[in-house]
């Protein structure tokens, strides 16, 4: 295959085009910046907290945000340390190295400090697939840390595959409310203490994000979380990649359909009293129930540790 811009040998062919190394890099940045512009994800003067695990996706995101927005915005890197020995400790070292090299200040928040247990401990205390519990704690801590750093937005490196997985999971679980909360800006309802999450990589595939980190020499650990792949998401992820290989453009079509649904139904969602947020009675964070999910997990861990 030849690059569609210069006819040199291509390194990738996807629904975003067929490109050589140099044109792939420029096209990747162009799509990211046009997503930011189209959906007004970053406005001048805003403080942007970049959720940075130290992995390939988040480092690629930090690279672009630091490159294009450091002059106009306050950029801070936030890392959530789940406490996964041999994995997160390594990516944290990588994160520090790149933050220092790109002159971005970083903050680290740990599950152990918040919930009194690392993810390694939680998997021993709570049998079963740990991804749900981990997701609850990570979302909570990202919001908490972003608010603590007075961030206007949390930028995450969620890509087209992540979004397509979410769409399919919500479809199979008949969860329409969660479906229309997806999109380049997560969430619909505005509430004090809730920092909106933005996804500048939403229209870029996982393969492209991985390739971008490789061709830019971002030397991140190229191994997945040791607990991933066990859950429902792992199954869906494999199926989506099969579908995309058979029918190129499938993922993008799923995203376009979700955006149409979101535009059509998000007003009704916000107006529905069932979807109103309240303050968690324990921590005061935005919650859909009296006690937020993270405080529930924290209580559960405390109980399991005492038995």
| Residues of the shown chain interacting with another protein in the complex, contacts defined by CB under 8 A | 1, 10-13, 18, 21, 53-58, 91, 157, 159, 161-162, 165, 205-207, 210-211, 214-215, 220-225, 228, 237-238, 241-242, 244-245
Q: How far is the CB of 164 from another protein (least distance, A)?
A: 11
Distance, in Å, from the CA atom of 80 to the CA atom of 159, rounded to the nearest integer, reads 19
Q: How far is the CB of 221 from another protein (least distance, A)?
A: 6
Nearer to another protein, 32 or 159 (CB): 159
Q: How far is the CB of 10 from another protein (least distance, A)?
A: 5
Which residue, among 222, 218, 221, has the nearest Cα to 102 in the 3D structure?
218
Count of Cβ atoms closer than 10 Å to residue 178 Cβ:
13
Count of Cβ atoms closer than 10 Å to residue 62 Cβ:
26
Q: How far is the CB of 236 from another protein (least distance, A)?
A: 11
Nearer to another protein, 59 or 188 (CB): 59
Nearer to another protein, 149 or 228 (CB): 228
Q: How far is the CB of 12 from another protein (least distance, A)?
A: 7
Nearer to another protein, 54 or 184 (CB): 54
Nearer to another protein, 18 or 149 (CB): 18
Nearer to another protein, 27 or 159 (CB): 159
Nearer to another protein, 114 or 227 (CB): 227
Q: How far is the CB of 105 from another protein (least distance, A)?
A: 21
Could you give the C-alpha distances from 61 to 15, 101, 133, in angstroms and in order?
20, 15, 25
Q: How far is the CB of 126 from another protein (least distance, A)?
A: 21
């Amino acid at each position: 295959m030849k690059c569609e811009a210069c006819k040199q040998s291509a390194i990738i062919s996807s629904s975003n085009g067929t490109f050589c190394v140099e044109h792939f890099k420029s096209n990747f940045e162009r799509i990211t910046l046009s997503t930011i512009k189209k959906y007004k994800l970053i406005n001048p003067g805003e403080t942007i907290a970049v959720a940075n695990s130290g992995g390939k996706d988040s480092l690629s995101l930090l690279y672009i945000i630091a490159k294009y927005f450091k002059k106009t915005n306050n950029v801070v890197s936030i890392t959530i340390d789940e406490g996964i020995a041999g994995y997160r400790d390594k990516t944290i070292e990588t994160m520090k190295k790149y933050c220092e090299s790109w002159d971005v200040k970083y903050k680290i928040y740990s599950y152990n400090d918040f919930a009194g247990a690392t993810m390694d401990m939680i998997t021993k205390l709570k049998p079963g697939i740990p991804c749900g519990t981990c997701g609850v704690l990570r979302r909570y801590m990202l919001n908490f840390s972003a608010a603590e750093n007075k961030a206007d937005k949390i930028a995450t490196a969620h890509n087209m595959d992540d979004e397509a997985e979410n769409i399919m999971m919500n479809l199979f679980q008949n969860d329409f409310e969660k479906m229309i909360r997806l999109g380049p800006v997560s969430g619909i309802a505005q509430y004090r203490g809730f920092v909106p999450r933005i996804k500048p990589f939403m229209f870029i595939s996982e393969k492209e994000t991985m390739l971008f980190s490789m061709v830019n020499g971002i030397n991140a650990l190229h191994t997945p979380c040791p607990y991933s792949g066990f859950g429902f998401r792992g199954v869906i992820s494999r199926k989506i990649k099969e579908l995309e290989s058979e029918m190129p453009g499938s993922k993008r079509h799923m995203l376009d359909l979700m955006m149409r649904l979101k535009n059509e139904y998000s007003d009704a969602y916000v107006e529905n009293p069932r979807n109103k947020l309240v303050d968690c009675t324990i921590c005061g964070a935005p919650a859909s129930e009296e006690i937020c999910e993270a405080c529930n997990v924290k209580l559960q861990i405390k109980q399991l540790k005492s038995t």
